[in-house]
């Protein structure tokens, strides 16, 4: 992933695109060309008011070719904003496709180009369109300014609302305002230099008139991200700038435009050659937020003063788990409610019926081909599931369920060496905008099984979901250049159908997260350092994605660690990092926050932070607070840190040592909190089953204090023994959390999404085999692991020595209320998912829809009945 790239720089004339070029050069990349889109030649106005491109000042753009000393390619904008969704799917007449045509011209002249840079900072609308074009053309998108105002400041300065402008000025960048669109920013600023402190001060004062109490919006307004103003770059540091544009403030003629906007008209400026200078040192954000720098420092101080980490608390059973995991079966099955369908453990096996139809010795066996075969069959299983669900829900043509409705997936490989082939086929399945959030590991699968996939399908309208799929390199978090999003946020409750103008951004959300490994975001290289440093960085990635999606609480934390001789100590380190990340405040608590916290929260949060943190974090209130304890009901103490599970597996992507994964709850109400937490169903470890935590969303209510049935419950359950009583105890526990049954015997709640982590040695396998056929295991993703560790919740609650219990099974479960009609539809008519019948449907579909060559390849092997 590392190495120098040959970059095409998209320029609009504004400050951001040129400052982004400086960051490209800072990271060793080579600038090969400039590219710009402009209004049609016969366009009468100075500004097209494009939703995608800055066009004001387009008459100046031609001067940049000589000023920068690189070839400039320009093209007229012929399309319109025909696709105005925040996320972009290619549309032939959209103005975004003009960018594709322009870059194709540049590539024809510069075939060595392999990357494209843009100045996107906070605009998802702009970033996703540049990424769409770049990825389709095989170019690496670079957006080094992405989320820049909310990243930790460079070492050279303290945190500031105008930090980006300060860093531009320090680098020697000069840009003048050429358009003002906000009433808060005076038109007299037209032509003023953004590198001058008095100009920035006037912009800050103007912006404060409208967004004084919201630092997030204030920082965006100060850099013009809301369209408050636009700029034209006139000078920058040598050697990028060989000449500067000779233009002064009085050269701008102010012209009143539409909607109160004022723009400056200037003649084409002359160029003046710059003297050779030493390059200016470019400021870049530091790698770690103060919160995670505090965690790292605390871990270092703690380990320096300790001879050993906290101990692993031994199992109550004799012996220990073997290094190699034993094989277990992972049956494919499904479950669902009226809102979701979970399909667990989809593999590429084919059912073969051996013997004559009337022969009593006839039997059905499942066989697996090579990896390519398995992926083709797996893909067809998924597509067939969409078709059947669409028929069950009577979807009209064009509205059928498809890959766009999958919000999360768990992908298990027998070997990480197969990743490239698997990913190729996976991408063919999930080729829509905002593919599902995904966690990928390599582990010991059953014999002959090369890959297993579990998915969650959201049956509700697609417009209720918000995806985050950042494919650009930046300083923020690793780019996901592939068929998975960093996060998919979906309503935690069902949006009210009688509220057509509902703003889904304000609704409580369940945030499905992708796994995060310790990649350095700006280079996509693996961090080379200690395991502590890698655990901290990868957890920060999870945090940053969660904060961008407004996650308030995590339901649990899972650290997958690759097989290593020191796994027990690594497990303890990961658990400690997880707990400290919850103890260190995201930012100093304000007086208002202090008033919102009840005495338990104040005492335990702040006291624990002072005890466990060597450095207290200090961020402004532009950073989303995570965790946010004000979301808990006041009569609920809860637990500060959700349970942490460490699972040792064979290997992780990119040979990473650790991969963090979780599910978040976001946009939770503070004024009327509805989150309740509890723990420990069986209070003594001797029982060998412990409910580590339950987290219950109590539903939205109807505004009168009545709670509806729309709540969602989350449970973490650990099993520590292989006692013959364990299956019965598990059954009793599940009956309790599924609540009293309806009169017809059906439960009021169902497990609609879950993971069963199995320490698949002899002990874990034996327990699993006793419960795998239970109804509540349907649709649950089974993840064989080598060893499992769960944090010592009891010790943590009682302020005793921290440590971890070694477990044989861990369940991570979400339950939903289910209406009888949904049970009748999805479970009363289960014949569609009968393994034999479903496989036959898939086979017939394969024969119809796959290429003739593929069908011919299998013709001698498939013996399925018609």
CATH architecture of residue range(s) 6-147+154-273:
3-Layer(aba) Sandwich (3.40)
Among 298-312, 705-719, 763-777, name the most confident range. 763-777
> What does the pLDDT read at residue 361?
61
> What does the pLDDT read at residue 354?
55
Quick one: average pLDDT of 838-858?
Answer: 49
Give CA separation, 289 vs 11, 518, 541, in Å: 30, 15, 10
pLDDT band for position 115 (cuts 50, 70, 90):
very high
Q: How many of the other CB atoms lie within 10 Å of CB of 25?
A: 16
DSSP 231-284: EEEEE--TTT-SEEEE--GGGPEEEE-GGG-EEEE-PPPEEEEPPP-PPPPPP-
β-pairing, 519-520 vs 551-554, is unpaired
Comparing CA positions, the residue from 260, 327, 298, 299 lying closest to residue 785 is 327
CA distance 743 to 379: 39
CA distance 748 to 262: 61
Backbone angles phi, psi at 630, to 5 degrees: -70, -5
Is 50 exceeded by the pLDDT of residue 715? yes
> What does the pLDDT read at residue 618?
36
Backbone angles phi, psi at 659, to 5 degrees: -140, 120
CA distance 597 to 614: 23
Quick one: average pLDDT of 175-202?
Answer: 93
CA distance 318 to 721: 9
> What does the pLDDT read at residue 391?
87
pLDDT band for position 837 (cuts 50, 70, 90):
low
Cβ pair 19, 241 in contact under 8 A:
no
Cβ pair 418, 371 in contact under 8 A:
yes
Cβ pair 839, 864 in contact under 8 A:
yes
Is 50 exceeded by the pLDDT of residue 684? no
Q: How many of the other CB atoms lie within 10 Å of CB of 634?
A: 12
Domain boundaries, the chain: 6-147+154-273, 333-459+837-865, 469-496+503-596+625-670, 674-700+707-834
Q: What superfamily does domain 469-496+503-596+625-670 belong to in CATH?
A: RutC-like (3.30.1330.40)
Is 90 exceeded by the pLDDT of residue 127? yes
Cis peptide before 627 (omega within 30 of 0): yes
Q: How many of the other CB atoms lie within 10 Å of CB of 594?
A: 11
Is 80 exceeded by the pLDDT of residue 703? no
% of residues, the chain, pLDDT over 70: 76
- CB-neighbour burial class of residue 655 (10 A; exposed 0-12, middle 13-18, buried 19+): exposed
Cβ pair 160, 187 in contact under 8 A:
no
Backbone angles phi, psi at 614, to 5 degrees: -75, -30
CB within 8 A of 396, min separation 6: which ones? none
CA distance 61 to 231: 12
Quick one: average pLDDT of 798-821?
Answer: 75
> What does the pLDDT read at residue 725?
78
Comparing CA positions, the residue from 442, 538, 413, 563 lying closest to residue 486 is 538
Domain 333-459+837-865 and domain 469-496+503-596+625-670 have a common topology: yes
CATH code that applies to domain 333-459+837-865: 3.30.1330.40
Is 70 exceeded by the pLDDT of residue 164? yes
β-pairing, 30-38 vs 72-76, is parallel
Cβ pair 548, 527 in contact under 8 A:
no
Quick one: average pLDDT of 358-377?
Answer: 76
**256 bridge partner residues:** 262
Provide the H-helix boundaries in 648-792. Answer: 726-737, 762-771
CA distance 384 to 402: 10
Comparing CA positions, the residue from 30, 28, 33 lying closest to residue 10 is 33
Q: Lowest-pLDDT range, 447-456, 744-753, 798-807?
A: 798-807
Cβ pair 182, 223 in contact under 8 A:
no
Is 60 exceeded by the pLDDT of residue 418? yes
Q: Lowest-pLDDT range, 313-327, 375-389, 655-669?
A: 313-327
Quick one: average pLDDT of 164-176?
Answer: 98
> What does the pLDDT read at residue 59?
92
Give CA separation, 768 vs 342, 568, 646, 724, in Å: 20, 23, 19, 12
pLDDT band for position 214 (cuts 50, 70, 90):
confident
CA distance 769 to 728: 13
Is 80 exceeded by the pLDDT of residue 720? yes
Q: Rg of the Cα trace of the chain?
A: 29
Quick one: average pLDDT of 243-270?
Answer: 91
Is 50 exceeded by the pLDDT of residue 637? no
Q: The pTM is what? A: 0.89
Instruction: Give me 755's structure tokens.
Output: 């993971």
Backbone angles phi, psi at 333, to 5 degrees: -160, 175
SS3 content of the chain, % helix, strand, coil (to 5): 30, 25, 45
> What does the pLDDT read at residue 502?
44
pLDDT band for position 818 (cuts 50, 70, 90):
confident
Is 80 exceeded by the pLDDT of residue 608? no
CA distance 147 to 545: 11
Is 50 exceeded by the pLDDT of residue 417? yes
CA distance 438 to 814: 17
Comparing CA positions, the residue from 50, 49, 51, 47 lying closest to residue 60 is 47
Q: Lowest-pLDDT range, 469-483, 496-510, 820-834?
A: 820-834
Comparing CA positions, the residue from 62, 57, 258 lying closest to residue 176 is 57
Quick one: average pLDDT of 684-690?
Answer: 48
> What does the pLDDT read at residue 735?
77
CA distance 469 to 432: 11
Comparing CA positions, the residue from 51, 62, 141 lying closest to residue 96 is 51
Is 60 exceeded by the pLDDT of residue 210? yes
Is 90 exceeded by the pLDDT of residue 318? no
Cβ pair 550, 624 in contact under 8 A:
yes
Is 70 exceeded by the pLDDT of residue 402? yes
58 or 606, greater pLDDT: 58
CA distance 139 to 481: 11
Comparing CA positions, the residue from 470, 606, 612, 624 lying closest to residue 135 is 470
Quick one: average pLDDT of 237-265?
Answer: 91
Instruction: Give me 579's structure tokens.
Output: 């707990």
CA distance 279 to 282: 9
Q: Is 322 helix (H, G, I), strand (E, B) or coil?
A: coil
Cis peptide before 239 (omega within 30 of 0): yes
Cβ pair 340, 459 in contact under 8 A:
yes
Write the pLDDT tens digit of every residue in 547-604.
Answer: 999 999 999 999 999 999 999 999 999 999 999 999 887 765 554 444 444 433 443 4
Name the average pLDDT for the chain: 82
> What does the pLDDT read at residue 648?
97
Instruction: Give me 191's structure tokens.
Output: 């032509």
**477 bridge partner residues:** none
CA distance 516 to 518: 7
Q: Is 707 helix (H, G, I), strand (E, B) or coil?
A: coil
User: Which 8-state DSSP code applies to residue 336?
Assistant: E
Instruction: Give me 615's structure tokens.
Output: 């450095």
CA distance 538 to 18: 30
Q: Which residues of 462-492 are buried (b: 16+ CB within 10 A; e: fewer)?
A: bebbbbbbbbbbbbbbbbbbbbbbbbbbbbb
Comparing CA positions, the residue from 502, 397, 432 lying closest to residue 132 is 432
> What does the pLDDT read at residue 785?
95
% of residues, the chain, pLDDT over 90: 53
Provide the H-helix boundaries in 651-761. Answer: 726-737
CA distance 231 to 178: 5
Length of the chain as a residue count: 866
Beta-strand runs (E) in 39-125: 72-76, 115-117
CA distance 185 to 761: 67
Write the pLDDT tens digit of every residue in 26-59.
Answer: 999 999 999 999 999 888 677 888 889 999 999 9
> What does the pLDDT read at residue 622?
81
User: Which 8-state DSSP code applies to residue 405?
Assistant: G
> What does the pLDDT read at residue 258?
78
Quick one: average pLDDT of 648-677?
Answer: 88
CA distance 169 to 85: 34
CB within 8 A of 148, min separation 6: which ones? 121, 163, 164, 285, 475
CA distance 804 to 668: 30
pLDDT band for position 495 (cuts 50, 70, 90):
low
């Amino acid at each position: 992933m590392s190495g120098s790239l040959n970059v095409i720089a998209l320029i609009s004339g504004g400050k951001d695109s040129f400052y982004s070029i400086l960051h490209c050069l800072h990271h060793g990349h080579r600038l090969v060309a400039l590219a710009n889109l402009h209004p049609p030649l016969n366009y009468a106005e100075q500004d097209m008011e494009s939703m995608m491109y800055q066009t004001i000042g387009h008459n100046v753009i031609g001067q940049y070719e000589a000023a920068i000393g690189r070839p400039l390619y320009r093209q007229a904008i012929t399309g319109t904003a025909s696709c105005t969704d925040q996320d972009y799917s290619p549309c032939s007449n959209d103005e975004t496709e003009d960018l594709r045509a322009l870059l194709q011209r540049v590539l024809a002249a510069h075939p060595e180009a392999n990357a494209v840079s843009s100045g996107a900072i906070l605009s998802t609308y702009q970033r996703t369109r540049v990424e769409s074009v770049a990825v389709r053309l095989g170019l690496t998108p670079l957006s080094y300014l992405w989320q820049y105002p909310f990243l930790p400041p460079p070492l050279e300065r303290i945190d500031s609302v105008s930090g980006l402008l300060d860093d531009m000025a320090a680098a020697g960048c000069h840009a003048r305002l050429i358009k003002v669109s906000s009433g808060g920013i005076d038109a007299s600023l037209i032509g003023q230099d953004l590198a001058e402190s008095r100009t920035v001060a006037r912009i800050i004062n103007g912006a404060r008139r409208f967004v004084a109490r919201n630092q997030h919006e204030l920082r965006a307004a100060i850099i013009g991200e809301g369209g408050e103003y636009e700029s034209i770059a006139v000078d920058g540091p040598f050697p990028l700038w060989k000449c500067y544009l000779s233009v002064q403030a009085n050269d701008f003629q102010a012209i009143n435009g539409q909607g109160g906007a004022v723009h400056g008209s200037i003649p084409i400026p002359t160029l003046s050659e710059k003297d050779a200078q030493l390059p200016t040192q470019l400021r870049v954000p530091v790698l770690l937020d103060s919160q995670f720098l505090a965690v790292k420092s605390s871990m270092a101080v703690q380990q320096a003063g300790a001879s050993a980490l906290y101990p692993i608390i031994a199992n109550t059973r004799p012996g220990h788990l073997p290094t190699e995991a034993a094989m277990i079966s992972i049956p494919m099955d499904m479950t669902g409610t009226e809102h979701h369908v979970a399909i667990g453990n989809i593999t590429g096996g084919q059912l073969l019926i051996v013997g004559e139809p009337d022969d009593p010795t006839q039997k059905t066996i499942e066989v697996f081909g090579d990896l390519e075969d398995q992926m083709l069959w797996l893909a067809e299983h998924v597509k067939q599931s969409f078709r059947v669900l669409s028929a069950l829900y009577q979807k009209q043509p064009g509205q059928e369920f498809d890959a766009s409705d999958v919000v999360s997936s768990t992908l298990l490989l027998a070997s990480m060496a197969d990743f490239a082939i698997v990913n190729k086929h996976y991408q063919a399945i999930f080729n829509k905008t905002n593919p599902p959030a995904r966690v990928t590991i390599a582990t010991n699968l059953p014999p002959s099984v090369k890959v297993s996939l579990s998915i969650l399908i959201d049956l509700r309208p697609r417009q209720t979901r918000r995806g985050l799929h950042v494919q650009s390199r930046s300083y923020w978090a690793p780019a996901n250049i592939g068929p998975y999003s960093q996060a998919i946020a979906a309503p935690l409750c069902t949006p009210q159908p009688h509220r057509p103008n509902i703003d889904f951004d304000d609704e409580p959300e369940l945030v499905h997260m992708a796994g995060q490994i310790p990649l350095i975001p700006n280079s996509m290289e693996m961090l080379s350092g200690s395991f502590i440093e890698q655990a901290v960085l990868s957890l920060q990635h999870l945090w940053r994605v969660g904060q961008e999606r407004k996650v308030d609480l995590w339901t649990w934390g899972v650290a997958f660690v690759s097989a290593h001789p020191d796994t027990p100590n690594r497990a303890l380190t990961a658990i400690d990092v997880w707990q400290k990340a919850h103890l260190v405040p995201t930012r100093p608590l304000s007086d208002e926050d202090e008033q919102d916290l009840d005495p338990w929260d104040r005492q335990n949060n702040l006291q624990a932070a002072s005890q466990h943190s060597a450095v207290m974090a200090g961020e402004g209130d532009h950073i989303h607070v995570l965790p946010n304890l004000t979301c808990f009901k006041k009569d609920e103490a809860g637990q500060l840190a959700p349970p942490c599970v460490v699972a040792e597996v064979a290997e992780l992507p990119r040979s990473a040592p650790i991969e963090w994964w979780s599910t978040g709850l976001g946009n939770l109400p503070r004024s009327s909190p509805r989150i309740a937490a509890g723990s420990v169903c069986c209070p003594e470890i001797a029982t060998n089953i412990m409910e580590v935590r339950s987290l219950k969303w109590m539903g939205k209510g109807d505004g009168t204090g009545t709670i509806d049935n729309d709540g969602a419950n989350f449970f973490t359950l650990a099993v520590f023994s292989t006692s013959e009583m364990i299956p019965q105890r598990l059954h009793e526990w599940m009956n309790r959390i599924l609540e009293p049954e309806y009169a017809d015997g059906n439960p009021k709640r169902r497990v609609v999404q879950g993971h069963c982590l199995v320490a698949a040695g002899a002990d874990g396998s034996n327990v699993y085999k006793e419960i795998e056929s239970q109804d509540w295991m349907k649709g649950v993703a089974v993840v064989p692991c080598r060893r499992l560790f769960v944090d010592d919740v009891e010790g943590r609650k009682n302020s005793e020595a921290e440590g971890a219990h070694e477990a044989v099974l861990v369940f991570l479960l979400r339950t939903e209320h289910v209406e009888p009609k949904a049970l009748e539809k999805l479970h009363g008519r289960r014949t569609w998912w009968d393994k034999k019948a479903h496989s036959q449907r898939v086979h017939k579909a394969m024969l119809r829809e796959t290429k003739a060559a593929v069908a011919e390849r299998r013709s001698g092997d498939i013996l399925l009945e018609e």
